[in-house]
Every structure is written in C-alpha cells, then in structure tokens.
A = this chain, B = another copy of it.
Amino acid sequence: MEITPKSLAALTGGDVEGDENAVITGFAKIEEARPGDLSFIANPKYAHYIETTGATAVLVGKNFVVDKPVTPVLIRVADPYATLAQLLRMVEGMKPQPEGVEQPSYVSEGVALPEHVYIGAFAYIGKGVKLGKNVKIYPQVYVGDGCEIGDDSVLRSGVKVYEGCRIGSRCILHSGAVIGADGFGFAPHDGKFEKLPQTGIVEICDDVEIGANTTIDRATFGSTVIGEGTKLDNLIQVAHNVTIGRSNVFAAQTGIAGSTHIGDGNMVGGQCGFAGHIKVGDYNEIGAQSGIPNNVGSKRRIIGYPAIDARQFAKNQVYLKNLGKLYDEIKNIRKQ
C-alpha cells in the first residue's frame, strides 16, 4: 500500500491540513505510529498524542482542536473511527482469500459447492448441508447435517455447528464458537434430573459476528435467534430460546439465560448476566459485570448487581464509601 493524504481525502470526503502529497504506507495506533503511518484520534483521551506521535498523517474529527502547530498532516473527517474502518476494510478486501477444497476433508455426498467456496483440511460437512457462494470453511470446522450457511460467511478453524442450524450471509464465526449445542433443560424426577431433549435450532441472521469460544444453544422448540447485524464477543453464553434483535453489541463473557428476549441496538458490557424469561428493550447501555434480574425498558443506562440506573449506582458508591463516617456520626448523636 502506498497512498497520499490527497487521495485519502478524496476517498473519504475529508479535508487535508498539511502536506497533501506525503507518502503513507501503513496504519498504527497514535502512540506507536512511526513515519509512513496513518493513525487516528477518536477518543479525546488520546488527543494529546497529536503532539508526540511519529505518524505521517492522522485522521481527526472536523472540530478537533490543535493549540499549536503539529508535525503530522491532519485529515479532518466527520467520524475518524468510521473512516478508519472504511479504509481498513478496503485494504482487507484486497487480500487474497482461500478457495477450493483442501484434502483430506469430509464433504457428504450430494453437498453442492458453489463458486469460490473454501473447504479447509479436516473440515466436516454433514448430509444435506447448503452452502452459499463464497463461503469460507476453515480447517477442522464441523457443520452438522442439514445446516444452511449463507453467501460470503466465514467459519474460522474449529467452529462447530450442530445439525439443522441456519447461518445467514456475511456472518463471521470465530474459532471455537459452538452453535446449536443442547440447551440446558432437565426435569427433576425422583431426586434426579432427566434430560429434556432440545428439538429446536439456532438461527443466526445476516451480518452477525460471533466471537471465539462463544456458545449459542439450540432451542427446546423453535429457534434461538441472533438478529441481523448483532455482534457477540468471545466466551459469551446464549441459552436456549433466547432471541436477540438487530444491531446489538455484547462484550465478552456475558451470559443470557433461557427464553430471554432482547431488542435492538443495545450495548452490553463484559461479564453481564441476564436472568431467564425477561424482556429487554432497545438502545440500552448496560455496564460491565451487571446482573439483570428483571425486565428492562429502552434507552436506559444501567449498571450494578442487580443493575440500577447508572447515576443512582454512582451515588450509591459515594454512600457506601461514607458508611464508616455515618456509623461514627450515629454514635456521636447517640452519646449526645
């Protein structure tokens, strides 16, 4: 890659401040960038690095303020992070993709292999599986009988998809993700627990990304659903019969218990736990490590165990910090 701020500005609709013919050959974080690198500032926490960075050019916001002249060329754009993403995707898109069938692999009789499909070595494709165009199945993936995988989806090495599950188009499933294992259902009987067979499936809609070692259980009946454009980080647990709507992001190690329904556009921190059989609305921000025992409305900011309004949580922290003083004060009052 070799590109100038001038070309970048043209590609991204940005404005250049500085040498528009400088040569950019790579990307780097602002604090690690060296000459030749393009970097970016999206988080104000990192703004001060503009004075010390070695970057040749930096993507900044339209209103980014510099108090004194700086070395790097500034490329002002509406959303530096989104622009960076766009540029990186362009570069990524130029990389050659794997294609063809490596041997040995196991493709059941009758499975059609559309154009540009990749089947890595030691991958297993069960009976009646339907693969879309350009699907990339990396080595050691297991796709059980009757699964469907939409166009352009990628299953990285070691993904396991149990029988009958459906994965949409343009999905990315990272290594170790397990889709469609049995939901955790047992009927107590005579002091023992008897298995409730899980007869449903998992349905993953288009443009979903599933992190490494995340597990999504099949429904008892019907489907466990991950809605369009939702992104799940690593080591997340989604129990049977959960439905998640569109364009949510869930950070790592969060767990969602059975039959809970989550709406659209929620941002959920890491290590949260959602109780079973609850409803969560849309566009909530839920802080890391929260416990969510009950229904949640929409557009709320909550945190805590159990989760409460984020402002109330902050107040409570102050109260808790001062509990010792409170006890002392009561003691004094009592004396008087």
Contacts and interface: CB of A to CB of B under 8 A. Distances in A.
B84 A187 contact: yes
Contact of A197 (B92, B257, B323): B92
A255 to B, nearest CB: 5
A234 interface: yes
A14 to B, nearest CB: 15
Interface string A81-103: 11011101101100000000010
B88 A199 contact: yes
A137 interface: no
A326 interface: yes
A124 B121 contact: yes
Interface string A154-197: 00111010100000000010111010011011111101111111
Interface stretch (A4-12, A66-74, A311-319): A311-319
Interface in A288-311: 288-289, 291, 293, 305-306
Nearest to A33: B221
Nearest to A174: B181
A135 to B, nearest CB: 18
A215 B186 contact: no
A270 B255 contact: yes
Interface string A229-272: 10101110101010000010101110101000000010000110
Interface stretch (A16-24, A109-117, A205-213): A205-213
Contact of A221 (B27, B144, B215): B27
A241 B207 CA distance: 24
Contacts of A138: 142
B252 A235 contact: no
A270 B28 CA distance: 33
Report how many copies the assembly holds: 3
A273 interface: yes
Interface residues on A, range: 35 or more
Contacts of A144: 157
A111 to B, nearest CB: 14
Contact of A257 (B82, B237, B251): B251
Given A86-B194, A122-B124, A215-B234, 11 more contacts: A28-B221, A92-B197, A140-B158, A144-B157, A191-B265, A233-B237, A237-B252, A237-B253, A326-B326, A329-B334, A333-B333
4 residue pairs, one from A and one from B, having the closest CB atoms: A142-B157, A160-B175, A178-B212, A85-B187
Interface of A: 27-29, 32, 43, 45, 79, 81-82, 84-86, 88-89, 91-92, 102, 104, 106, 120-122, 124, 138-140, 142, 144, 156-158, 160, 162, 172, 174-176, 178, 181-182, 184-189, 191-197, 199, 207, 209, 211-213, 215, 217, 220-222, 229, 231, 233-235, 237, 239, 241, 247, 249, 251-253, 255, 257, 265, 270-271, 273, 275, 277, 288-289, 291, 293, 305-306, 315-317, 319-320, 322-324, 326-327, 329-330, 333-334
